[in-house]
Chain A
Amino acid sequence: MKLNTYFDKIGGFVITGEVGPIKGAIPRDRAVVPRCAQEAEFLHGRVHAINVTDNQSAVMRLGSMAACVGLKARGHEPIYQLTCRDRNRIALQSDILTAYSLGMDNMLFLTGDHIRLGDHKTTKPVFDLDSVQLIKMAKGLREGHDIVGNEIENPPDFTIGAVVNPNFVPLDLQLMKMKKKIDAGTEFFQTQAVYDDKIFDEFIKKAEKFGKPVQLGVVILKSPQMGTFMNKNVSGITVPQEWIDEIGSVNKADRKKKAAEMMAGFIKKHKSKVQGVHIMPLGWTDIVPDILEQAEIKINGVEG
C-alpha cells in the first residue's frame, strides 16, 4: 500500500521501521530465515512500512530490492531505498521500474553515504545524479517518461520519499535542499536521527511551512559506546552527552528497557509536531513495540 494513503488521512500518523539486508545471499533453504526478515517480524502489525536500506554506510550487502521482495512475501510493506552512490541514471531508472514491477509501492531516494565510509574504499563513486535529480527522474517515470524524455510503457506508481537532516549547520542550506526535493516530487520526508529537542524544534518550525509530511527519525541508542561511535563516525548526527550518560547509567542487561524508555520519551515529546515517526532500530526491532506503546502511538492513529 502506498504510504500516501496514510499521510493523506486526516490526522494520519505514519510509523515506519527499518532493517538492513544481510551481508550475504538469501538462503535457498526456506527453513533458514535471514536476520533482516527475523528482525522485521517484531514490526509486524506495529508499523505501516519498513525501510530497507541500500548498502547502508557504503558497506556491500544483499540488495535492497531482494530484501524488499522477501519482506513483501512475508506480509510486510517495504520501502525500497535507493541511493545515487552506486548507479548511473540508466541503472537507477531500471531499478525503479524493476522495484515497482516486483511489487514495491514506496521508494525512498537518497544521495547515499560516501564510499570512504564503507568497506570498499577504493571503489569508483558514481553520483551520476544527486538526490534532487533522482527524485525528479523518479517522478518523470511515474508520469510516463524516462529522464531523456522517451515514453515508457505502463508507468509505475509509487510514493516518493526523501530524507532531510535537521542537525545540518547551516540549517538554511539543508532547507533549500528540502524545498528542491519537494519541487522535484517528494511526497514525504523522514529525518535523519535527531536527539536534541532544541535542534528538532528549530528545524520543524521552519520545515512545517513547506506543508509536506515529515516523520521524526530516531536511531535507537543502544549503549554509551554507540553514542560515542556515532559522534565520531556517523556523518551528520550528534548524540548529546546527556543521552550517552543516561543509557550508560544502567547495566547492560537493562539497556533495552532503558533505550525503549528514552526513545519513547523523545517521540512522545515531539509527536504532535510531525506526521509520523521513523524508527531505526539497528537490529533492536524487538523493543519497537515497547517504544510505540510508551510513546502512545499506534498505526491506526495517534492515541490520546
Chain B
Amino acid sequence: MHATIQKPIQEIVRYIKPGEKVFVVGCNNCAWKCHSGGEDETKNMARRLEKRGVEIAGYSTPGPQGMSLCKLDHTRKVLMEDYADPVKKADSFLVLACGQGIHTVIDATDGGMVHPGCDTIFGGETVSETQIDEFCSLCGECIVEYTGGLCPLTLCSKGLLNGACGGAENGMCEVDAQRECGWVLIYERLKKLGRLDLMLPYREPKNFAKWSRPRSLQVSPEEAIFCSQDGKITISNQD
C-alpha cells in the first residue's frame, strides 16, 4: 500500500486562491487505512476548509471501502457521473491520496486542476491498524532471494548489497540508534534459517535502469510487459 500523511491544513489553505471552489476527493483504500483520506477524513477536510473560509463544491471518497482512487474507470464514473453537478462547479480538486491518486483525478476529470492534500511517504506493509512500515523500495528487480526476504535496499540506510558497513553499534544503524541495522537483521535471519552461505557470494551493483522513472506496465492474464529505461521486458504469467 502507499502510505500517505495529510499536509498541514495551513499549507493546503495557502494553495487555494480566494473564491476558488474546491472539490475534495479521498481514497477508500490506502488513504483510508492511513486515516489520511478515507470517508471520514474527506468529509472532515471539507468541513475544516469551510471553517477557514474556503468554498467547497463537494466531496467524495469513490467506491466501497477497499476501492482504490487510482482505479481510473471507477473514479471517472463517480466523479463525472455520480457527482457530475458539483464537479462541474468545482475550480479545483484537493486530493487526499497518494500521487497516483492525484494523477488519476487529473485523468478522470479530463485535466482538472488538482492540489495535493497529502504527502506520499512510502509503499508499506500494514503491520497493524496503527502501524505501517516500509520493507520495499520498488526497485524493479527483487534481490531478497539472497537475503532471507529482507530487503537491504530498504532496511539498510545506505542500501548496501554486499553486507554491513562499519557503522552499526549494538546492532543499531549508524544513522539512527533507535533502528536496527538492516544487515544485522539479514545476518541473524539467515543464520536462523541455516543459510549464511547466501551472504558469501559477491553481489553485482544494482541495475538502476530498472529503477528509472517513469516506468509502466501492461498487464493481461497471459503476460506482463514492464517498460523502463532498461527496455521492455515481457513475462509470461502462464508458462
Question: Which A residues fall within an 8 A CB radius of B?
Answer: 84-85, 89, 111, 113-114, 116-117, 125, 127-133, 136, 147, 163-165, 167-170, 172-174, 176-177, 179-180, 183-184, 192, 235-236, 238
Chain A CB within 8 A of B166 CB:
yes
- Chain B, Cβ-Cβ closest to A111: B165
> How long is the Cα–Cα vector from A173 to B164 in the complex, in angstroms?
7
Q: List, in ascending order, chain A residues with CB within 8 A of B160's CB.
A: 111, 127, 130-131
- Interface residue tally for chain B (C-beta within 8 Å): 29
Q: List, in ascending order, chain A residues with CB within 8 A of B163's CB.
A: 130, 132, 173, 176-177, 180
On whether the beta carbons of A125 and B158 are closer than 8 Å, the reply is yes
Q: List, in ascending order, chain A residues with CB within 8 A of B165's CB.
A: 111, 130-131
Q: List, in ascending order, chain A residues with CB within 8 A of B183's CB.
A: 173
Chain A CB within 8 A of B208 CB:
yes
On whether the beta carbons of A89 and B205 are closer than 8 Å, the reply is yes
Within the complex, the shortest CB–CB distance from A230 to chain B, in Å, comes to 11
- Chain B, Cβ-Cβ closest to A84: B158
Within the complex, the shortest CB–CB distance from B197 to chain A, in Å, comes to 11
Chain A CB within 8 A of B170 CB:
yes
> How long is the Cα–Cα vector from A147 to B174 in the complex, in angstroms?
29
On whether the beta carbons of B158 and A111 are closer than 8 Å, the reply is yes
Q: Which of B158-178 contact A (CB under 8 A)?
A: 158-171, 174-176
Q: List, in ascending order, chain B residues with CB within 8 A of A165's CB.
A: 166-167
Contacts A125-B158, A132-B162, A180-B163 given; does A169 touch B174 at CB 8 Å: no
Among B157, B169, B199, B202, find the residue whose CB has the most chain A CB atoms closer than 10 A: B169
21 A–B pairs (Cβ distance < 8 Å), ordered by A: A89-B205, A111-B165, A116-B157, A117-B174, A128-B205, A130-B160, A130-B165, A132-B203, A133-B203, A133-B205, A168-B168, A169-B169, A173-B184, A173-B187, A174-B166, A176-B199, A177-B163, A180-B163, A180-B202, A235-B169, A236-B169
On whether the beta carbons of B157 and A236 are closer than 8 Å, the reply is no
